[in-house]
Amino acid sequence: MTAALDDLRSVFAELTSLHGWAPLQTPRSLLLALTGRVGAVASLVQWDAETGPDAVTPELRDELADCLVYLVALSDTLGLNVVDDAVTRIRGAVETSRA
């Protein structure tokens, strides 16, 4: 599979609709959810050596996936196109570095 973010948006909208979760998904709540998943990633690598982690566990993969889910949902809720914004931002940094 090579999914695009729109596939993620589509299936997340389906899950949200099935459970009636839309009213819960305010920006601040989605941000707390993102914070929670980033924290879970941190807890999985907190005692690793600086070269770690040695292996990517399913739990680590799942938590990073959840980070993306909430980051995209949060950005969408705010009316942003986070991928465009990120490309624009990094492209600007490249141009500044070259100038």
Site for its own copies in 8-27 (CB under 8 A): 8, 11-12, 14-15, 18-19, 24, 26-27
Q: Does 3 bind its own copies (CB under 8 A)?
A: yes
* b/e map 37-60, b = 16+ CB within 10 Å: bbebbeebeeeeeeeeeeeeeeee
Q: Does 2 bind its own copies (CB under 8 A)?
A: yes
Q: C-beta of 75: minimal distance to its own copies in Å?
A: 5
Q: Does 48 bind its own copies (CB under 8 A)?
A: yes
Size of the site for its own copies (CB under 8 A): 71
Q: Does 32 bind its own copies (CB under 8 A)?
A: yes
d(CA 59, CA 41): 9
